[in-house]
Structure 1
Amino acid sequence: MIAIRSRLLRTAAVVALSGALGACASFTNDGGMSPVASRVSLEIGATSAKIVTPADAAVVRSRVDRLLAKPLTADAAVQVALLNNRGLQAEYNALGVSEAEYVEASLPPSPTVSIERVVGSGELDVERRLIADLLQLLTLPRRAKIAETGFRAAQFKAIAATFRTASEARRAYYRAVAARETAAFLETARASAGAAAELTKKLGETGAATKLSQARSGALYAEVATELAEARLETAKEREALTRQLGLWGRDLDYRLPARLPSFPRLKTQGDVEATAIRRRVDIIGDRLELDELAQSYGLTEQTRAISMLEVTGIANHARSAEGEKANPKGFEVTVQIPIFDFGKASSAKARETYMGAVNRLLEKAVNARSEAREAYATYRGRHDIARSYQSRVLPLRKVITEESQLQYNGMLVDAFELLTNARENVASNVAAIRAKRDFFIADVDFQAALIGGGSAAEPAAEPKLASATSASSASPQ
């Protein structure tokens, strides 16, 4: 009977070991980066790379140098960030850890070898034990499948991190360029205001300009100079924010930016943004895979709830008595841990609640994704209309007002107060137009992120504004 049990046990062990060896996985050549690189290239037309060796670092360094040799475009800034941002490299390292965990989970459990030697009263007793976790061995294919699903989810998390880095770099680029354009415009406006203030002062010395007109002209110059100081500070801050996203330091800090924002791109059509977001957003795909991983883990928990541990121990003893007699008994020991107090109900309930929590979070994200896609498109179209209105209506009208006011002032039909009021309003409109165009480009980034993943931008801080011309115009001219 003992011989029959021993053969059955060996047969079960052989079957389990065969299945375990068939489930073994191996490391990929690129640390699981192939799906990441393919999806990034498809969606945003950029290259992602994991830096592992000094050769990889040299290739990346060479390409970054070539990109920084020219004034940066938005696409070039994104590419530099994807190659050079160390936070993104850390995300790729996390993907490598997930792959290692997958390979580790696919390997059979290591056996434990125990040797015990006892000597006393002239007798020698040596016991050798080979302990194997048969439950781990029997469930290895299922556990390997669960780990594989987790590895696939980690790949989509890495893709989402790449999209997020690209979006943040593009937003930072548009803010930096807009800040630079605003400062350049205010530099010109300050020079004009300074010339006007100097002329008014000279006219006052001859009696052709009142003291009030001189004060108003000087106030306009001071206001524009203050706004320029704010713009210069903002330019420095936004450039540093972009520098952080690009991962640059040292000799790379003198990279060049264009003087103004690019022209308006072709307006995107709406389509079914909700369905597109649900289908293409990589964060949702990654969460679905994590949910699948939890479901598989829950199924494994249900299958093993009645047995928590199943160990098989092979025993080989060597005994020698004081009279020189030898004995070599052999056998095996089976250890089974049975949760007799709750029969696995606690672990089963924990797995079930964890799974349902993940289901509800995924459903919430799906609902939010639909809303975010609709909101992002509405914001994109609204920002486009606002920016276009400034370019096609507000600024041309402001130009006409400025020219006509100058003509009427030269003809002594209006006084200096109205001329200064129009100048103040013209400066404010031009600054607002630059910011409106910047906000449109950022809304474009947010719209793409709402469709493919990458996170939305935080609410912008309140912008410093020029002194309102309406408050000045409420006073009657002197």
Structure 2
Amino acid sequence: MRSVRSRLARASAVAALSATLGACASISADRGMTPVVSRVSLDLGKDTAKIVTPADAAAVRSRVARLLGAPLTADAAVQIALLNNRGLQAEYNALGVSEAEYVEASLPPSPTVSIERVTYRGELDVERRLVADLLSLLTLPRRAKIAETEFRAAQYKTIQATFRTAANARRAYYRAVAARETAAFLETARASAAASAELTKKLGETGATTKLNQARSGALYAEVATELAEARLEASKEREALTRELGLWGRDLDYRLPSRLPGFPRLKAQSDVEATALRRRVDLIGDRLELDALAQSYGLTEQTRAISMLEVTGIANHSKSAEGDKANPKGFEVAVQIPIFDFGKARSVKAQEAYMGAVNRLLEKAVNVRSEAREAYATYRGRYDIARAFQTRVLPLRKIITDESQLQYNGMLVDAFELLTNARENVASNVAAIRAKRDFFIADVDFQAALIGGGGAEEASPEPKLASAASASSASPQ
């Protein structure tokens, strides 16, 4: 009967060990990138890849070169950033670290083997110990589940970083093109102002115009020239900002930008921006997963809070006396730390407060996401109306004013002062129209980021994170 019970016990132990080992995770071939690649393709229509081997680097380099072979578009800029931005590659490396931590957490604890040999006056005493952390082994499935949830949260955080890189690249592209268009317009305006100033100077030399008109014409030229210098500096800065987002250097720096912003796209209609943002925002999904991991960890703390150490030690002794007598006692030792002074209440309260703090931060973020979606859509519609007003009303009227002023000046119905004033106002209106169109395209990017994640510069700054499940689970013995 005893032998039957022994065999049953061994069979149960083997089955438990097999189940534990079968639950162990393994490192994936793509280091956890599959959900990232799929979500980027679905929401952005673009490709992204982790560069691991020289072959990967060569493939990325070849594709970037093809994209740079033509004048850069906004979509091409985003694609280059997703493949070539090294900061984004660092985010993918961090995801690989998260997967490795998940795999480590799913492995059974390693046992400790110790051998002790003592000789005294011809007597030999050898003791062998095999120590295993039984509590860690018993809680392994729960801890592995927590680690898996944290890894899934890390995947969504990586998707968020990818969306942010794409949004930043698109914003930088529109700013660079708008700055280039502004500089080109001011170049033309300066040439016109220079011709006008030269003509006014010659008329002044013949006495056909006053010295005041000469000074006004010269001042207009000087002002436009100063604005052009400022615009050129801005264009250089915005181009460098775009270059950094694209991760370009060396021979790739001579990429070509279009001379002007693209035409207006079809206006997007969104019926329920709040629900869409709550459903699709990847940063919110990642925070929810972190909260799930924290909840699982809190449950683990509750189950083990009264036990802080549980070890099982297998003992095998070998003794030999001077007379040659041998002894081979065997047995086991169980060590449990008795919570005399602390029954785990402090750890339980700590875990509970950490969890509720994370819940409140998640609820706060949900409120903010709703507000951000509404604000982004209102800004998008407002910027569209402003930019279209410049294109359809302000600039056509400015052209009429300029043409009529020139006709009246030629007919000597108005003086040069009014003509120069109209010219100065026309320059200001055209520059404002370019900037309004740029702001509309940036508002479009911000609106999409508010729906799916990616955020703006303000969202990329460090913010309080949810309390990690790892820190809460540290309250319980591992």
Q: Give the TM-score band, short-chain normalised.
A: over 0.9
Which digits, 9 at most, give the CA deviation of each residue in 1:275-313, with x for residues without a partner? 000000000000000000000000011111111111100
Instruction: In structure 2, give the amino acid aligned to 1:342.
Output: D
Instruction: In structure 2, give the amino acid aligned to 1:242.
Output: L
Q: Structure 1 residues 401 and 199, CA, compared in 2 at 3 Å: closer, same or farther?
A: same
Give secondary structure in 2 for the equivalent of 1:108.
Answer: coil
1:402 aligns with 2:415: no
Q: Does structure 2 conserve the Cα–Cα contact (< 8 Å) formed by 1:19 and 1:141?
A: no
Identity, % of aligned positions: 85
Residue 71 of structure 1: aligned partner: 71
Give secondary structure in 1 for the equivalent of 2:39.
Answer: helix
1:330-345 matches, cutoff 5 A? 330-345=330-345
1:59-458 matches, cutoff 5 A? 59-458=59-458
Q: Structure 1 residues 452 and 61, CA, compared in 2 at 3 Å: closer, same or farther?
A: same
Q: Distance in 1 between matches of 2:337 and 2:79?
A: 55
After TM superposition, the score normalised by the length of structure 2 is 0.93
How much does 1:270 deviate? 2.1
Give secondary structure in 2 for the equivalent of 1:129.
Answer: strand
- Aligned-residue CA RMSD (Å): 1.7
Q: Does structure 2 conserve the Cα–Cα contact (< 8 Å) formed by 1:395 and 1:430?
A: yes
Give secondary structure in 2 for the equivalent of 1:196.
Answer: helix
Which digits, 9 at most, give the CA deviation of each residue in 1:132-153, with x for residues without a partner? 0011111111111111111111
Residue 470 of structure 1: aligned partner: none
Q: Distance in 2 between matches of 1:186 and 1:458?
A: 32
How much does 1:22 deviate? 2.5
Residue 469 of structure 1: aligned partner: none
Give secondary structure in 1 for the equivalent of 2:331.
Answer: strand
Q: Structure 1 residues 36 and 108, CA, compared in 2 at 3 Å: closer, same or farther?
A: same
Which digits, 9 at most, give the CA deviation of each residue in 1:425-448, with x for residues without a partner? 000000000000000000000000
Instruction: In structure 2, give the amino acid aligned to 1:257.
Output: L
How much does 1:41 deviate? 0.4
Instruction: In structure 2, give the amino acid aligned to 1:336.
Output: V
Which digits, 9 at most, give the CA deviation of each residue in 1:154-202, with x for residues without a partner? 1100100000000000000000000000000000000000000000000
1:17-96 matches, cutoff 5 A? 17-96=17-96
How much does 1:81 deviate? 0.3
Instruction: In structure 2, give the amino acid aligned to 1:337.
Output: Q
Instruction: In structure 2, give the amino acid aligned to 1:362.
Output: L
How much does 1:340 deviate? 2.4
Q: Distance in 1 between matches of 2:274 and 2:376?
A: 11
Q: Does structure 2 conserve the Cα–Cα contact (< 8 Å) formed by 1:446 and 1:457?
A: no
Q: Structure 1 residues 10 and 313, CA, compared in 2 at 3 Å: closer, same or farther?
A: farther
Q: Does structure 2 conserve the Cα–Cα contact (< 8 Å) formed by 1:74 and 1:174?
A: yes
Give secondary structure in 2 for the equivalent of 1:332.
Answer: strand
Give secondary structure in 2 for the equivalent of 1:127.
Answer: strand
Q: Distance in 2 between matches of 1:207 and 1:338?
A: 108
How much does 1:19 deviate? 3.2
How much does 1:44 deviate? 0.7
332-341 or 103-112: bigger deviation:
332-341
- Structure 2 gap ranges (5+): 460-478
After TM superposition, the score normalised by the length of structure 1 is 0.93
Q: Distance in 1 between matches of 2:215 and 2:7?
A: 107
Give secondary structure in 2 for the equivalent of 1:311.
Answer: strand
Instruction: In structure 2, give the amino acid aligned to 1:66.
Output: R
Instruction: In structure 1, give the amino acid aligned to 2:248.
Output: L
Q: Distance in 2 between matches of 1:340 and 1:74?
A: 66
- Structure 1 gap ranges (5+): 460-478
Q: Does structure 2 conserve the Cα–Cα contact (< 8 Å) formed by 1:25 and 1:102?
A: yes
Which digits, 9 at most, give the CA deviation of each residue in 1:319-349, with x for residues without a partner? 1111111111111111112322221111111
Count of matched residue pairs: 458
